[in-house]
Amino acid sequence: MELQQCRFCYAGSDMNFAVFADDPCRTRYVKSIPIPIGYTEVELYEIEPGAGTRWIVVKQHNDHKTTLKVFLRKGNRFLENSMVDLLRETKKQILQRFPKLAVESRHRIAA
């Protein structure tokens, strides 16, 4: 999947996300969706990479489940990859910059 096709959800502490990248990115509000059960609203966001961004990791939390999604630049596109399939050098860069993701990547990898 491509990053531009993804929307990330926020509904307080039960549903949220965090963005990690090698260059600043913009997170942009898209819309709110009313949910009749549980949450009052879920806000949808999209991520716009910076001009120098090579990789983006999105840590998603939904209830008690946390997943990581990794997107790598390929030309002008950002394609989703698995953390386990990353080149050693790219994975090293990510984990050096954000060491706490090392624990997440061992236990909660999004395919």
The reported pTM is 0.86
| Backbone angles phi and psi of 16, in degrees to 5 | -160, 180
| Amino acid letter, residue 63 | D
Range of 86's domain? Answer: 3-107
Which residue reads 């996300």 in tokens? 17
Cα–Cα distance for residue pair 80/56, rounded to 1 Å? 9
- Contact at 8 Å (CB) between 59 and 17? yes
Q: How many domains, the chain?
A: 1
- Contact at 8 Å (CB) between 82 and 68? no
* Count of H-run helices and E-run strands, the chain: 2, 7
Tens of pLDDT along 44-86?
999 999 999 999 999 999 988 889 999 999 999 999 998 888 9
